[in-house]
């Protein structure tokens, strides 16, 4: 069982917006602004999409945004495009005395 | 261009040992923390280990603590993972990954293509 809980799948039509949730605890997501999100296409390495809750790396589309409320972080993708279809993983710092870094179980995004 | 190239993945018997290597280029290696992250076939990402820029701090997932050792040689721009007492559940694609910071965080901005470790008799 993953330390962070994500929905197994979400779907949306081109042009729509979707949100993927990532629920942790007060020991990880709730305590630190160190949540990141990764996109992974089949057979490819993960790609950083959001870091430190809401920051976008250079080159990542502004259609991707991140936020956090309490123990739950969220990734929102607006103006869905076919190429957004992929697996998405959240990741959080969990403290130096514990697992340190934890990933969510992943969410499969299907663009209808 | 940042490049991370893993090597060392093979088929190994349960209880065996293996050393993975990662050759880094395209950035100042000794400025950044480095991670190992693995992905079992058809499964999600699992963080394995982190080492700070100078090797002074290391961290491990509970699932590998006491069996795996992360290390780095900044003179060779290389990252390593010594894996002992291997189990079937260690079977996975192992990614070498670069952190955005020197002390380590959850902001992993570059990933290699992975090296496959299979633990089987």
Give B16-69 as a DSSP string.
Answer: --EEEEEEEESS-GGGS-EEEEEE-TTS-EEEEEEE-TTSS-EEE-TTTTTTEE
Chain A residues closer than 8 Å to B109 by CB: 48, 51, 57
Q: How confident is the model at residue A96, as a pLDDT?
A: 72
Q: What is the mean pLDDT of residues B32-49?
A: 97
pLDDT recorded at residue A18: 97
* Residues on chain B touching A91 (C-beta within 8 angstroms): 45, 47, 106, 108
The closest alpha carbon to A38, from A49, A24, A54, belongs to A49
Residues in B touching A100 (Cβ below 8 Å): 47, 50, 59-61
| Chain A residues 52-111 within an 8 A CB cutoff of chain B | 52, 57, 87, 89, 91-93, 96, 99-106
Q: In terms of Cα–Cα distance, which of B111, B67, B74, B66 is closest to B93?
A: B111
pLDDT at A2: 57
Residue B44 has pLDDT above 50, yes or no: yes
Chain A residues within an 8 Å CB radius of B105: 34, 51-52, 93
Q: Is the pLDDT of residue B37 over 80?
A: yes
The pLDDT of residue B42 is above 80:
yes
- CA–CA separation, A17 and B13 (whole Å): 47
Mean pLDDT over A66-78 rounds to 97
Percent of chain A surpassing pLDDT 90: 89
Around Cβ A74, how many Cβ atoms within 10 Å?
20
Q: How far is CA B38 from the centre of its chain?
A: 8
Assign B106 a pLDDT band (cuts: 50, 70, 90).
Answer: confident
Segment A18-46 mean pLDDT: 95
- By Cβ distance, the residue of B44, B47, B108 closest to A48 is B108
* pLDDT for the residue numbered B21: 98
- Does pLDDT of A3 surpass 90? no
Q: How far apart are CA A33 and CA A19, in angstroms?
A: 19
Task: Please say if the pLDDT value at position A98 is more than 80.
Answer: no
Distance in Å from the first CA to the final CA of chain B: 40
Average pLDDT over residues B40-66: 95
Q: Per-residue confidence at B10, pLDDT binned at 50, 70, 90?
A: very high
Nearest to B36 by CA among B97, B93, B78: B97
Distance CA(B90)–CA(A8), nearest Å, equals 23
Sheet strands (E) in chain A: 9-12, 18-23, 35-40, 47-50, 64-69, 72-77, 86-95, 100-103, 107-111
Backbone angles phi, psi at B30, to 5 degrees: -80, 10
B107 → closest Cβ in A40, A48, A87 = A48
Gap between the Cα atoms of B6 and B112, Å rounded: 7
| Mean pLDDT in residue range A49-60 | 97
pLDDT of residue A1: 47
Indicate the pLDDT class of residue A59, thresholds 50, 70 and 90. Answer: very high
- Indicate the residue of A96, A101, A105 with minimum beta-carbon distance to B106: A101
- Mean pLDDT computed over A12-39: 95
| B113 vs A: CB within 8 A | yes
């Amino acid at each position: 069982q993953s330390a962070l809980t994500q929905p197994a799948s979400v779907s949306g039509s081109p042009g729509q917006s979707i949100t993927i949730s990532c629920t942790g605890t007060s020991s990880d997501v709730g305590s630190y602004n160190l949540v990141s999100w990764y996109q992974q296409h089949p057979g490819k390495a993960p790609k950083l999409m959001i870091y430190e809750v809401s920051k976008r790396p250079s080159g990542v589309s502004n259609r991707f945004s991140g936020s956090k409320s309490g123990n739950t972080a969220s990734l929102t993708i607006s103006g869905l495009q076919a190429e957004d279809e992929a697996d998405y993983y959240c990741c959080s710092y969990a403290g130096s005395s514990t697992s340190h870094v934890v990933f969510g179980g992943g969410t499969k995004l299907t663009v209808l | 261009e940042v490049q991370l190239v893993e090597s060392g993945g093979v088929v190994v018997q349960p209880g065996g040992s293996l050393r993975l290597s990662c050759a880094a280029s395209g950035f100042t290696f000794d400025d950044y923390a480095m991670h190992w992250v693995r992905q079992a076939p058809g499964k999600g990402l699992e963080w394995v280990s982190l080492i700070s820029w100078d090797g002074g701090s290391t961290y491990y997932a509970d699932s590998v603590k006491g069996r795996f050792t992360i290390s780095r040689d900044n003179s060779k721009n290389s990252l390593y993972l010594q894996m002992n007492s291997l189990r079937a559940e260690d079977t996975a694609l192992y990614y070498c990954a670069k952190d955005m910071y020197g002390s380590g965080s959850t902001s992993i901005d570059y990933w290699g293509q992975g090296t496959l470790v299979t633990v089987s008799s």
